[in-house]
């Protein structure tokens, strides 16, 4: 086989666009996983697809990775279209971490990375990548003996071993404890600091707000809204979210009409009020509950987050959608 | 930022290395490939070891007038164990194969010295042999004169024992089993674990992935053949009469053939359970019909062309020709052709049908 020196790599597109996708549709038998999706990711950007399970995030990413052909629409990654004869060159430049890939349990960390490195015309030294994901101590440990967080960092290392221009991460921290999560975020941030582009999916809003320059909130195969995390939250026009549980019936219209309150949404067994002025809303709420003869069970307030953006758009909570 | 690393190893080499490491680190796989066939050869070799000729067993029915006399006449006969039982016990002994022939001595008549009735199973070789041996012994004891001068020269030629037949069959069976299971399981497991999909997302060449399985099989096959053949030679004195090179060539092609068939069987299934079913379905007819444990000549003549077209039959026949008969490679051309055809067709189909995710 021929190996190209690294100067022969396809140059990055001059327009600064890393991913462009327009009118993307993907159907599986009777389910439409992605129903007309448009998005653009700039070079050097970290872009997040945020949404509940089944929103179509993974399907979208697998189409972008060239693993699944789309039914309709245009997909361009780093200026190339899949199937136009440059797939091989394109794969040289992408780092991919799939959701729930189980790497061979009998190989060691080092052996696994050597294997992945051998697939690429250009690769980083294995030891260096191991250091990047802080697995030096596990270098000779078998994959089967690693913890969940270590396995995830190894998967990340497999994606980074080729020194890619762009990283695709599908739920990189799902199922990890907070500490393991922080270490993964750290690796992603260091990749970005070197000028890499990242597209990740997540259903954790704090991950999206911390890592992403922009996020697209997805539900049922569509993008509901797209923008900078802070801007999306600001667009809600609320300060605080008041979440409470009460024993008895309260009318949503009456809650929404309370002074200082912008809206009321019922999620399962709790109420969520979007509140503009907490100093006005809280006494009014307590007064209203008393008037209705409803006993308060619990009450909490927090700053509005991306999660609340999702709730206000869908009327459902992200975690149980 | 972008440093040129040391020359990287070839992906085919790395894939093959990973494959071999995964195999040797799986103790169960090592047992089935290396220890199991040896245990099987040991058990069968002991069960069917060459024993001194078995003595034939005759029963004389008690209570008839001539019984005592017949028993006395047979007493000195070599190769015969003689017992005297009553009629019911004699019948039972014959039925349960504890006696080969029952001798019922009728009443002495004036015109002949002695009359007997032989009862035996005509379909059993031992029955017929015992009847002749008893008859011969009685005639001799009654004073028969032989007119032919016969001399006996017992022969036990090496290469004609059951273990000589068995060892090449076990080598063939082992090559089929490890080729198909080794490949099929690994491929389907990688598919269910989404490892195939992960590989597909890299610039890895798909042909390299499939070729690495073949290469790792070739390393394994040298050991597999050596273990079984070496064991047969050390313990039972089963010699390889043909050239080692011819044996290597036959085993190589056989291994390639079953790697191809294993790849074909594993091309689509998504679960290990699924692939196991197909593996068994494909292998079982060959376990039974391809002459690993007993000659396929026992099947009706009409079925034999079909049996000879099976890849394991071709492999077994070629291995026996080389190991037992010392045949040159050219003499096994037909078998080699059958295997090559299976290998080519199954590889081509497997590449076409292979499911990466």
User: Average pLDDT of chain A?
Assistant: 88
- Per-residue pLDDT, A319: 62
- Per-residue pLDDT, A40: 92
Query: What confidence tens digit (pLDDT) does each residue in A146-172 have?
Result: 999 999 999 999 999 999 999 999 999
**pTM, full prediction:** 0.78
Q: Do B198 and A158 touch (CB under 8 A)?
A: yes
Q: Which long-range contacts (CB under 8 A, 24 or more apart) does B303-310 make?
A: B308/B338, B309/B338, B310/B285, B310/B286
* CA dist., res. A236 & res. A275, Å (int): 10
State the nearest Cα–Cα gap between A109 and chain B, in angstroms.
12
Report the residue from B4, B14, B195 with minimal CB separation from A118.
Answer: B14
* CA dist., res. B196 & res. B189, Å (int): 9
Average pLDDT over residues B221-239: 87
Query: What confidence tens digit (pLDDT) does each residue in B153-210 have?
Result: 876 666 678 888 889 999 999 999 888 888 888 899 899 999 999 999 999 998 899 8
Q: Do B201 and A91 touch (CB under 8 A)?
A: yes
A7 — pLDDT class (breaks 50, 70, 90): very low
Residue A18 main-chain phi, psi, to 5 deg: -90, -45
With contact defined as beta carbons under 8 Å apart, do B182 and B26 qualify?
no
More confident of the two residues B63 and B6: B63
Report the residue from A92, A101, A114 with minimal CB separation from B203.
Answer: A92
B307 — pLDDT class (breaks 50, 70, 90): very high
- Per-residue pLDDT, A4: 39
With contact defined as beta carbons under 8 Å apart, do A264 and A311 qualify?
no
Burial of residue B119 (number of CB atoms within 10 Å: 0-12, 13-18, 19+): middle
- Per-residue pLDDT, A2: 38
How many CB pairs below 8 Å do chains A and B form together?
85
Q: Give the CATH fold of the A14-232 domain.
A: Rossmann fold (3.40.50)
User: Average pLDDT of chain B?
Assistant: 87
* CA dist., res. A113 & res. A92, Å (int): 15
Q: Where are the beta strands (DSSP E) in chain B?
A: 56-61, 80-85, 101-105, 116-119
Q: Structure tokens of A198?
A: 């990242």
Is B310 a residue whose pLDDT tops 90? yes
Q: Do B10 and A96 touch (CB under 8 A)?
A: no
Is B260 a residue whose pLDDT tops 80? yes
- Per-residue pLDDT, B157: 65
* CA dist., res. B62 & res. B56, Å (int): 19
* CA dist., res. B178 & res. B166, Å (int): 18
Question: Which residue of chain B comes nearest to A167, CA vs CA?
Answer: B201
Q: How far is CA B144 from CA B101, B130, B141, in A?
A: 22, 19, 7
B51 — pLDDT class (breaks 50, 70, 90): low
Q: Which domains does chain B have, with CATH numbers?
A: 11-48+158-353 (no CATH), 56-141 (3.40.190.10)
Is A109 a residue whose pLDDT tops 60? yes
State the nearest Cα–Cα gap between A111 and chain B, in angstroms.
7
B328 — pLDDT class (breaks 50, 70, 90): very high
With contact defined as beta carbons under 8 Å apart, do B354 and B330 qualify?
no
- Per-residue pLDDT, B115: 83
Q: Do B202 and A162 touch (CB under 8 A)?
A: yes
Q: Do B13 and A118 touch (CB under 8 A)?
A: yes
Is A30 a residue whose pLDDT tops 90? no
- Per-residue pLDDT, A9: 52
For residue B17, list chain A residues with Cβ-Cβ distance below 8 A.
Answer: 111
Report DSSP letters for B1-60, one per residue. --PPPSPPPPHHHHHHHHHHHHHHT-HHHHIIIIIHHHHHHHHHHHHT---SPPPEEEEE
* CA dist., res. A77 & res. A66, Å (int): 9
Q: Do B201 and A98 touch (CB under 8 A)?
A: yes
Query: What confidence tens digit (pLDDT) does each residue in B71-125 have?
Result: 888 888 878 889 999 989 999 999 998 899 999 887 666 666 678 899 999 888 8
Q: Who's near A194: CB < 8 A, 6+ residues apart?
A: B1
Share of chain A residues as helix, strand and coil, in percent rounded to the nearest 5: 35, 30, 35
- The complex scores an ipTM of 0.85
Q: How many CA atoms lie within 13 A of B45 on its CB side?
A: 21
A3 — pLDDT class (breaks 50, 70, 90): very low
* CA dist., res. A252 & res. A264, Å (int): 6
Q: Do B26 and A107 touch (CB under 8 A)?
A: no
Report the residue from A67, A102, A111 with minimal CB separation from B357.
Answer: A67
- Per-residue pLDDT, A5: 41
For chain A, the structural domain boundaries read 14-232, 237-303
Query: What confidence tens digit (pLDDT) does each residue in A33-91 have?
Result: 999 999 999 999 999 999 888 899 999 999 999 999 999 999 999 989 998 888 999 99
Q: Give the CATH fold of the A237-303 domain.
A: Alpha-Beta Plaits (3.30.70)
Nearest CA among B214, B307, B224, B211 for reference residue B253: B214
- Per-residue pLDDT, B108: 61
Q: Do B21 and A106 touch (CB under 8 A)?
A: yes
Burial of residue B106 (number of CB atoms within 10 Å: 0-12, 13-18, 19+): middle
Report the residue from B2, B4, B18 with minimal CB separation from A104.
Answer: B18
* CA dist., res. A135 & res. A132, Å (int): 8
For residue B4, list chain A residues with Cβ-Cβ distance below 8 A.
Answer: 6
Residues in chain B, how many? 357
Placement of tokens 């006449």 in the chain: B73
More confident of the two residues B320 and B235: B320
Question: Which segment of A136-145, A175-184, B108-117 scores lowest on mean pLDDT?
Answer: B108-117
Percent of chain B at pLDDT > 70 equals 93
Nearest CA among A310, A319, A316, A318 for reference residue A225: A310
Is A15 a residue whose pLDDT tops 80? no
Is A10 a residue whose pLDDT tops 90? no
Q: Who's near A46: CB < 8 A, 6+ residues apart?
A: A188, A192, A197, A198, A199, A200, A211, A212, A213
Query: What confidence tens digit (pLDDT) does each residue in B12-38 have?
Result: 999 999 999 988 898 887 888 788 888
Nearest CA among A109, A209, A189 for reference residue A153: A109
């Amino acid at each position: 086989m021929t190996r190209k020196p690294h100067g022969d790599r396809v140059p990055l597109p001059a327009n600064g666009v890393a991913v462009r996708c327009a009118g993307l549709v993907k159907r599986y038998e009777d389910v439409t996983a992605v129903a007309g999706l448009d998005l653009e990711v700039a070079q050097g950007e970290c872009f997040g697809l945020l949404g509940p399970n089944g929103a179509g995030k993974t399907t979208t990413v697998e189409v972008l990775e060239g693993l699944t052909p789309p039914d309709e629409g245009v997909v361009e990654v780093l200026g190339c279209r899949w199937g136009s004869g440059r797939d091989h060159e394109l794969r040289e430049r992408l780092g991919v971490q799939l959701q729930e890939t189980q790497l061979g349990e009998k190989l060691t960390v080092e052996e696994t990375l050597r294997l992945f490195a051998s697939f690429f015309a250009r690769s980083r030294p294995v030891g260096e990548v191991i250091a990047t994901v802080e697995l030096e101590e596990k270098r000779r440990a078998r994959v089967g003996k690693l913890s969940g967080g270590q396995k995830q960092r190894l998967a990340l290392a497999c994606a980074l071993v080729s020194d890619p221009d762009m990283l695709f991460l599908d739920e990189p921290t799902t199922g990890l404890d907070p500490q393991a999560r922080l270490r993964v975020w750290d690796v992603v941030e260091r990749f970005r600091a070197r000028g890499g582009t990242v597209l990740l999916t997540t259903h954790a809003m704090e991950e999206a707000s911390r890592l992403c320059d922009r996020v697209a909130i997805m539900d049922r195969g569509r993008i509901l809204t797209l923008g900078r995390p802070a801007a999306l939250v600001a667009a809600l026009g609320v300060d605080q979210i008041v979440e409470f549980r009460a024993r008895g019936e309260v009318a949503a219209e009456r809650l929404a009409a309370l002074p200082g309150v912008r809206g009321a949404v019922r999620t399962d067994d709790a109420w969520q009020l979007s509140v503009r002025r907490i100093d006005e809303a809280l006494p009014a709420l307590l007064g209203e509950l008393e008037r209705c003869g409803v006993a308060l069970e619990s009450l909490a307030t927090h700053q509005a987050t991306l999660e609340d953006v999702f709730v206000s758009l869908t009327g459902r909570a992200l975690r149980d959608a | 930022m972008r440093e040129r690393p040391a020359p990287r190893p070839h992906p085919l080499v790395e894939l093959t290395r990973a494959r071999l490491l995964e195999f040797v680190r799986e103790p169960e796989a090592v047992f089935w490939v290396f220890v199991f066939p040896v245990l099987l050869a040991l058990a069968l070799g002991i069960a069917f070891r060459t024993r001194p000729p078995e003595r034939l067993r005759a029963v004389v029915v008690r209570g008839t007038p001539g019984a005592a006399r017949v028993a006395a006449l047979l007493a000195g006969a070599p190769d015969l164990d003689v017992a005297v039982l009553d009629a019911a016990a004699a019948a039972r002994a014959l039925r349960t194969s504890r006696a080969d022939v029952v001798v019922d001595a009728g009443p002495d008549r004036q015109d002949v010295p002695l009359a007997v009735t032989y009862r035996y199973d005509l379909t059993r070789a031992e029955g017929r042999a015992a009847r002749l041996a008893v008859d011969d012994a009685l005639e001799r004891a009654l004073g028969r004169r032989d007119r032919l001068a016969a001399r006996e020269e017992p022969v036990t030629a090496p290469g004609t024992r059951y273990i000589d037949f068995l060892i090449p069959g076990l080598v063939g069976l082992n090559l089929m089993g490890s080729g198909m299971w080794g490949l099929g399981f690994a491929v389907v497991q990688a598919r269910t674990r989404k490892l195939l999909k992960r590989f597909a997302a890299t610039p890895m060449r798909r042909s390299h992935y499939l070729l690495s399985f073949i290469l790792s099989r070739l390393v394994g096959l040298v050991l597999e053949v050596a273990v079984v053949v070496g064991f047969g030679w050390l313990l039972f004195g089963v010699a390889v009469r043909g050239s080692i090179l011819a044996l290597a060539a036959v085993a190589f092609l056989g291994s390639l053939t079953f790697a191809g068939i294993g790849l074909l069987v594993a091309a689509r299934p998504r679960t290990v359970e699924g692939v196991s079913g197909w593996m068994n379905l494909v292998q079982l007819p060959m376990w039974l019909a391809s002459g690993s444990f007993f000659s396929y000549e026992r099947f009706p003549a009409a079925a034999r062309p079909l049996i000879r077209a099976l890849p394991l039959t071709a492999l077994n026949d070629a291995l026996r020709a080389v190991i037992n008969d010392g045949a040159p490679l050219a003499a096994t051309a037909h078998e080699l052709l059958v295997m090559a055809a299976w290998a080519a067709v199954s590889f081509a189909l497997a590449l076409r049908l292979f499911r990466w995710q």
